Amino acid sequence: MEQLTHFINGKRVAGTSGRFSDVYNPATGEVQAQTPLANAAELEAAVAGAAAAQPAWAATNPQRRARVLMKFVALMNRDMDKLAEALSREHGKTLPDAAGDVQRGLEVVEYCIGAPQLLKGDFTDSAGPGIDMYSMRQALGVTAGITPFNFPAMIPMWMFAPAIACGNAFILKPSERDPSVPIMLAELLQEAGLPDGILQVVNGDKEAVDAILDHDVIQSIGFVGSTPIAEYIYARGCANGKRVQCFGGAKNHMIIMPDADMDQAADALVGAGYGAAGERCMAISVAVPVGEDTADRLVEKLAPRVEALKVGPYTSGNDVDFGPVVTGAAKENILKLVESGVEAGAKLVVDGRDFNLQGYEDGFFVGAHLFDHVTSDMEIYQKEIFGPVLSVVRAQSYEDALGLAMDHEYGNGTAIYTRDGDTARDFANRVNVGMVGINVPIPVPLAYHTFGGWKKSVFGDLNQHGPDAFKFYTRTKTVTARWPSGIKEGGEFSIPVME
Ligand code: NAD
């Protein structure tokens, strides 16, 4: 059995806590490796190494720091196939989707290569007699991030790339479900010239997370994962005086107006609903056609497309639309929710419950499901299923459809399909959701914009990547300086103001 490791001070380090977690191959259901689960002492070693290395890194010219990231991009491109294979083997997603996971992270690294420009401060000459005033962005010190299983390459990079570019050290606690790729990325960064200790990868579960939350030296925490854990991390991290941003779960609605191109909408829904087996925080899990006729036309187009989806292991290459879900427990949970939908009276138009893949009977495969006539009081509507299950909720009017998206507790992403500019514009302006697509089903912003939801999908102020990341990973310092120092003004007893 392969024993995985942590990555501390520039090398792979075996776990010493004596606790391990099984890492599965979701396609076969076999345990393929064990990952160590760190205790507080192991975290302490990682933090000490990071704290020792960070001041010299922060003092390194930002262009030199950016060059390390530039080399890192080249190395990721060199090793893309290897990274994608390791990612698919632990996560289950198809190889093209795994390469996309690496690529969307890599794009944020490319953005961070602009650090010398992004970190430039402001300067006011002659703010007073002989007085200049300038602001600069300084690194926080040792920062940390806790990431989910569903994007084991992209989300760690969304955090550590800006953190490192800004001159911080970063402690990454990846998901224990698929921990190999984060270690491979740390090794590539070291090969690119990153000093030892600046990126530490500490594998673990709640014990390691709690140690991070309570560690005095750690200045900031980024979290991406489910909403209950996001809430917990935000509350405990803030109570401990840290800067915290947490991104949680989702239930993304797509509104389909009567004038929409129904083939385009159905194709979009199939990709956005079932891609990566629905294990994406930006997956569309609710389709809201407006009007009975629109709903009938949509379901008629959707059903054959969903039935035709090909489910299989990543080793089948491009012949597969989506792979297994991540664990047996995830599969069980999805099928339980499907049963609850049937019991609540939703119509299961495409029933994937008996899906079985010959030769992979023990794999965590879940067939595609399509529900129609779902209502807002049902559990399958309220909960994030995180599986290949799409619910059609029929709305009688545009206002009803908008109201559904507005009233749901999550507000990560949403989309509208229409040919009418007025409706699209009204939707984009009014909907209380962080990322909106107009005839685009998965509106994930590119690296130089920012990513983040609203409502229970987020806890904290700033978004991920783009300019917000450079704010999150730095503190502003403003200096007021008087030169020449010889100017005499006498004592000032009241607050200086501009007259
Ligand atoms: P998760 O919340 O189970 O785990 C996320 C991280 O938290 C992991 O590193 C895990 O080890 C840690 N963790 C789990 N339980 C913990 C506990 N009790 N105390 C402390 N730490 C704990 O999430 P997941 O299943 O890995 O990922 C799927 C979830 O992530 C979905 O809800 C999805 O919507 C969400 N997600 C959100 C975004 C976003 O940007 N909003 C992006 C990707 C995924």
64 part of a folded domain: yes
CB within 6 Å of ligand 1 — which residues?
A: 146-151, 173, 175-176, 205-206, 209, 224-226, 229, 247-250, 281, 384, 386, 412, 453, 457
Shared domain check, 402 and 473: no
450 part of a folded domain: no
Q: For residue 387, report the distance from its CA to the centre of ligand 1, in Å.
A: 15
pLDDT digits (tens, 9 = 90+) for 302-350: 999 999 999 999 999 778 999 999 999 999 999 999 999 999 999 999 9
Mean pLDDT of all residues belonging to the chain = 97
Shared domain check, 337 and 303: yes
Mutating to test ligand 1, I would choose from 175, 207, 383 the residue with most ligand atoms within 8 A of its C-beta, which is 175
Shared domain check, 308 and 244: no
The number of angstroms, rounded, from the C-alpha of 337 to the middle of its chain's C-alpha atoms is: 24
Q: For residue 429, report the distance from its CA to the centre of ligand 1, in Å.
A: 30
Shared domain check, 426 and 315: yes
- Strands of the sheet containing 131-139, edge to edge, are 122-128, 131-139, 474-482
Categorise residue 85: left if φ over 0, alpha if ψ from -120 to 50, beta otherwise.
Answer: alpha
Beta strand pairing status for 2-3 and 218-224? unpaired
pLDDT digits (tens, 9 = 90+) for 240-293: 999 999 999 999 999 999 999 999 999 999 999 999 999 999 999 999 999 999
Q: Look at residue 343 and give its three-state secondary structure.
A: helix
Ligand 1 atom with the smallest distance to the CA of 464 is 40
pLDDT digits (tens, 9 = 90+) for 151-197: 999 999 999 999 999 999 999 999 999 999 999 999 999 999 999 99
> By C-alpha distance, which of 355, 370, 417, 393 is closest to 270?
370
> By C-alpha distance, which of 226, 160, 146, 173 is closest to 38?
173
Mutating to test ligand 1, I would choose from 91, 212, 226 the residue with most ligand atoms within 8 A of its C-beta, which is 226
CB 384 within 8 A of CB 249: yes
Shared domain check, 292 and 180: no
Shared domain check, 126 and 30: yes
> By C-alpha distance, which of 206, 228, 162, 150 is closest to 447?
162
Mutating to test ligand 1, I would choose from 104, 150, 155 the residue with most ligand atoms within 8 A of its C-beta, which is 150
487 part of a folded domain: no
Can you give the CATH number for the domain in which 40 is found?
3.40.605.10
Is 89 a residue whose pLDDT tops 80? yes
Q: Measure the CA–CA gap between 480 and 159, rounded to whole angstroms.
A: 32
CB 275 within 8 A of CB 321: yes
Q: Measure the CA–CA gap between 419 and 257, rounded to whole angstroms.
A: 8
Shared domain check, 309 and 237: no
Domain range for 302 is 252-438
Mean pLDDT of 85-112: 98
Is 491 a residue whose pLDDT tops 90? no
Shared domain check, 392 and 282: yes
Ligand 1 atom with the smallest distance to the CA of 233 is 20
Looking at the 3D structure of the chain, how many domains does it have?
Answer: 2
In terms of pTM, does the model score above 0.75?
yes
- Report the percentage of the chain scoring pLDDT > 90: 95
Number of neighbouring beta carbons within 10 Å of residue 5? 16
CB 254 within 8 A of CB 269: yes
Active-site residue numbers? 281
Is 489 a residue whose pLDDT tops 90? no
Using pLDDT thresholds of 50, 70 and 90, give the confidence band for residue 146.
very high
Shared domain check, 10 and 103: yes
pLDDT digits (tens, 9 = 90+) for 34-86: 999 999 999 999 999 999 999 999 999 999 999 999 999 999 999 999 999 99
pLDDT digits (tens, 9 = 90+) for 424-455: 999 999 999 999 999 999 999 999 999 999 99
CB 65 within 8 A of CB 42: no
Contacts of residues 329-333 at CB distance under 8 Å and 24 or more positions apart, as own/partner, are 330/279, 330/364, 330/386, 330/387, 331/364, 331/365, 331/366, 331/387, 333/387
Using pLDDT thresholds of 50, 70 and 90, give the confidence band for residue 497.
confident
Shared domain check, 170 and 266: no
- Strands of the sheet containing 218-224, edge to edge, are 11-13, 6-8, 199-201, 169-173, 142-146, 218-224, 243-247, 458-459
Shared domain check, 259 and 244: no
Can you give the CATH number for the domain in which 365 is found?
3.40.309.10
496 part of a folded domain: no
Could you tell me where the beta strands, DSSP code E, fall in 141-224? 142-146, 169-173, 199-201, 218-224
Shared domain check, 228 and 264: no
Q: Measure the CA–CA gap between 367 and 199, rounded to whole angstroms.
A: 39
74 part of a folded domain: yes
Q: Rounded to 5 degrees, what are φ and ψ at 458?
A: -150, 145
| Residue 287 neighbours by CB under 8 Å, 6+ apart | 253, 254, 256, 269, 273, 298, 302, 390, 391, 392, 393
Question: Amino acid identity, residue 483?
Answer: W
Check residue 484 and give its pLDDT. Answer: 74
Q: Measure the CA–CA gap between 195 and 293, rounded to whole angstroms.
A: 62
Q: For residue 226, report the distance from its CA to the centre of ligand 1, in Å.
A: 4
Question: Amino acid identity, residue 292?
Answer: E
